[in-house]
Structure 1
Amino acid sequence: MENNLLTAFLKVLKVKHTNVYSQKYFEEHPYNNSLYGLSTMLTHYRIENRGVRVKDISIDNLPQTPFVTSIGKSFVIVLEIANAEVKCLWNDKKINFTIDSFLKEWNGIVLIAQPDDLSIEPNYSKNRRNEIFKRLSKSLLFLSAMSFLLFFYIDYSIYLNIKTSILLILSLIGVYISFLLLSKEINGYNRSADYICSMLKQGDCNNILTSEYSQLLGLISWAEIGFSYFVFNLLVILLNPSWVRYLCIMNLFTLPYTFWSIWYQKYKMKTWCILCLSVQCILGSYFITGLFSGYLTFVNFNFIGFGIVGCLFIFCIIIINLLSTLYQQAKQKRILTYKINALKINEGVFVTLLKQQPYYSVSADDSNILFGNPDAKFKITIFSNPHCSPCRKMHTRVKVLLEARNDISVQYIFSSFNESLDISNKFLCSVYINKPIEVASLIYDEWFSNVSHTSQEIFDKYKLDLESVVVQEEFDRHIKWKKVTGISATPTILVNGYQLPTHYAIEDLLYLTKANI
């Protein structure tokens, strides 16, 4: 997978990160196509950064590398300025500009980042373990597949038959080449495929793979058919070598396609796809091997056996096509989700939807329990229950929001399932009243994160007065607000008194704190 701007910059800055998390975080970020968005992402990694506009565009005014800027409509990471050249990273590829050509395209806006010892990916250790596990899983899957192939290769003594071994090797190469084609067709990018395609100056795999005739009858791509064909050949050779002759006969039907593909690339598209040509070479080699090995014969031809082989091949095509379709649908769903998220964080859209929700009057008179910036215009109220499982999770999510922004306030109003549990509400009120806010925040974290404790253990640990007048007054405020509003569901989130719309999550508010509500 191609490294996106964030992942590439983190790598240049030598900040501890995982590709899986950083790629996903970048793709899901609603402002991933702007320097402002990149700045918020770097802040998420605890990297000090700032945007700078250089008024006098000249080589002397270029900031110290590395930094991110835009050239034309694309973002680049400037790695080094030396020997009259500007060395950059663009779309995860190293390119060099002459200083004059760079200054001509440069708009003078840069994003400078200065990581320190605290700069690191959130939950890096956990993310790293997950990434290693996924890599090991892929490696084990590959080793299992190779072991599977080797087992049947030895068990059926295929290694004693050079002709069949050659067909097996051709099928393996075909599986790899056609997989690269299929991957590039679906994703538009594959590092290995792009490297191979770039070998020919007149080559352009993308044009061929997206052309009018890249699919059979507009229903199934030739890449899918090719991948299915070679996988099927591989399995037949390993599982039932006696059917190899049918594979060689089936190969005859691929020869017209081979000539058509070469003609289409040369005369219709006037460009070459080196991967496609490789497939044609394999098909031709398959034919030659079958011809000189004696497999390509119709003596004692069994129509039933050939029919079974043909049906199995069609079945293989259907399976590959279904899997490919499911993958592409999942990809389109992710893209659609990203677009919806980008629409959701539009301040105008958010304010319009927010003001269509129920409004509840809420102020400091209803609860003094306030975290974050007390002067913030963006006020979040959390109606929570100390013993509610979703409320525990909500507290963790709110904590992340508070750490990321200094222009919001979070107010807590507590409820309980019954009167016997009111003591927990009083405890949390007493914690906030009697402890410094930093300590109170830590105790709240302990309460909401520790599912194994009992309430009494926490009470005994801190020994707070739960029956003082000031605690009772705070507790009564919460009870009164609950009765006046009639809200009972926990957790309920209010933004400046308006209930958060259903399709918004607390995390979305990270990008909406400037909204004029």
Structure 2
Amino acid sequence: MLRIKKNEFVWVTQVTDSKVYLEDSFGKKISDDIETFEQEWSGIALAIEDIVDAGEPSYKEKYDKGLRKKIFEYTFMSSYMILLFALVYFSWMNDTAISILYKLILLFVNMTGCYIAYTLIKQEKFQINRLAQRFCKVGKHVDCFQVTRSNYSKFFGWLSWAELGIAYFSAVTLWVAIAPISSHWISPLWWLLLLPLPFTLWSLYTQAFLIRKWCLFCCTIVFILWLNALTRSKLDFD
């Protein structure tokens, strides 16, 4: 059975003479005494009943569509990784060992940024994975969902910061993969790595003072952007 508490559905797992045991959408188990439960319960409940023809309409078609989407995503990611490593191999052949090390760091952190931004995009569309469930709602002050679905998460009201993030990290990743260590290639990359730093201050400000909730994924992206800027100074020229 489900009930609504503060606009949230939770499972009622057990009821005793004095306690009601609940489990929220993140798997967190909580309990209330009967009086508190009755005061907070909205009076709305959902019950699951096994009847003939029960089930989601057009389930098979939707399942097949979802399966095709997953196959496309995995195929795209595999092709992207193969292309990326091919570019790295042919573009870095004449680089020094220390330059390769710093470029590998940039590649790793920006690919991580891509993944986190992708996770935030799925979260905005209510496609929550296990990673989001574990880190997006911790205690009273950490709530990624409230941050990413706020009005401050949109650029000019229509493009989310997560979408901009995945575009930015993808661009940096490809640039690092194809760029030899020379002033002709690295100078634009320097500015690209510095460009989002004002956004990091805005992100921290909105989380701390406007939304008053923290998003661990967003803070990780802020950390990656600053790590990019610090790594930038370590790139050498021929």
The alignment's TM-score, normalised by the length of structure 2, stands at 0.69
Residue 232 of structure 1: how far off its partner (Å) = 0.7
Residues 272, 115 of structure 1: alpha-carbon distance in 2 compared, 3 angstrom cutoff: same
Residue type of the partner of 2:196? T
Contact 2:147–2:207 (CA<8 Å) still a contact in 1? yes
Q: Provide the rounded CA distance (Å) in 1 between the counterparts of 2:60 and 2:203.
A: 50
- Secondary structure of the structure 2 residue equivalent to 1:285: helix
Q: Provide the rounded CA distance (Å) in 2 between the counterparts of 1:174 and 1:234.
A: 10
Residue 157 of structure 1: how far off its partner (Å) = 3.6
Q: Provide the rounded CA distance (Å) in 2 between the counterparts of 1:108 and 1:261.
A: 37
- Equivalence for 1:147: 82
- Equivalence for 2:49: 113
Is 1:179 equivalent to 2:115 in the alignment? no
- Equivalence for 2:163: 224
Is 1:100 equivalent to 2:34 in the alignment? yes
**What is the percent sequence identity of the aligned residues?**
24
- Equivalence for 2:134: 195
Q: Provide the rounded CA distance (Å) in 1 between the counterparts of 2:151 and 2:110.
A: 27
Higher relative contact order, structure no. (Cα contacts within 8 Å, ≥ 6 residues apart): 2
The worse-fitting range, judged by mean Cα deviation, of 149-158 and 230-239 is 149-158
Residues 140, 90 of structure 1: alpha-carbon distance in 2 compared, 3 angstrom cutoff: same
- Secondary structure of the structure 2 residue equivalent to 1:275: helix
- Equivalence for 1:364: none
1:322-361 aligned at under 5 Å gives the runs none
Q: Provide the rounded CA distance (Å) in 2 between the counterparts of 1:227 and 1:81.
A: 45
Contact 1:85–1:96 (CA<8 Å) still a contact in 2? no
1:31-70 aligned at under 5 Å gives the runs 68=1, 70=3
Residue 248 of structure 1: how far off its partner (Å) = 1.9
Q: What RMSD in Å do the two structures reach over aligned CA positions?
A: 4.1
Residue 292 of structure 1: how far off its partner (Å) = 2.5
1:224-303 aligned at under 5 Å gives the runs 224-242=163-181, 243-294=185-236
Residues 170, 97 of structure 1: alpha-carbon distance in 2 compared, 3 angstrom cutoff: same
1:117-516 aligned at under 5 Å gives the runs 132-157=67-92, 161-185=100-124, 187=125, 190-191=128-129, 192-193=131-132, 195-199=134-138, 201-211=140-150, 213-218=152-157, 220-242=159-181, 243-294=185-236
The alignment covers a number of residue pairs equal to 227
Q: Provide the rounded CA distance (Å) in 1 between the counterparts of 2:78 and 2:219.
A: 29
Q: Provide the rounded CA distance (Å) in 1 between the counterparts of 2:44 and 2:121.
A: 41
- Secondary structure of the structure 2 residue equivalent to 1:113: coil
- Secondary structure of the structure 1 residue equivalent to 2:74: helix
Structure exhibiting the larger radius of gyration computed from Cα positions: 1
Cα-to-partner distance string for 1:320-341 (whole Å, 9 max, x where unaligned): xxxxxxxxxxxxxxxxxxxxxx
- Secondary structure of the structure 2 residue equivalent to 1:293: coil
Residue type of the partner of 1:176? Y
Contact 1:184–1:193 (CA<8 Å) still a contact in 2? yes
The alignment's TM-score, normalised by the length of structure 1, stands at 0.36
Q: Provide the rounded CA distance (Å) in 1 between the counterparts of 2:60 and 2:126.
A: 32
Contact 1:200–1:274 (CA<8 Å) still a contact in 2? no
Q: Provide the rounded CA distance (Å) in 1 between the counterparts of 2:50 and 2:151.
A: 49
Residues 218, 194 of structure 1: alpha-carbon distance in 2 compared, 3 angstrom cutoff: same
- Secondary structure of the structure 2 residue equivalent to 1:276: helix
Residue 201 of structure 1: how far off its partner (Å) = 4.2
Residue 233 of structure 1: how far off its partner (Å) = 0.7
Q: Provide the rounded CA distance (Å) in 2 between the counterparts of 1:200 and 1:140.
A: 37
Residue 282 of structure 1: how far off its partner (Å) = 1.0
Residues 103, 137 of structure 1: alpha-carbon distance in 2 compared, 3 angstrom cutoff: same
Residue 162 of structure 1: how far off its partner (Å) = 0.9
Structure 1 gaps of 5+ residues are: 1-67, 301-517
Residue type of the partner of 2:87? F
Cα-to-partner distance string for 1:279-314 (whole Å, 9 max, x where unaligned): 22111111111113336xxxx9xxxxxxxxxxxxxx
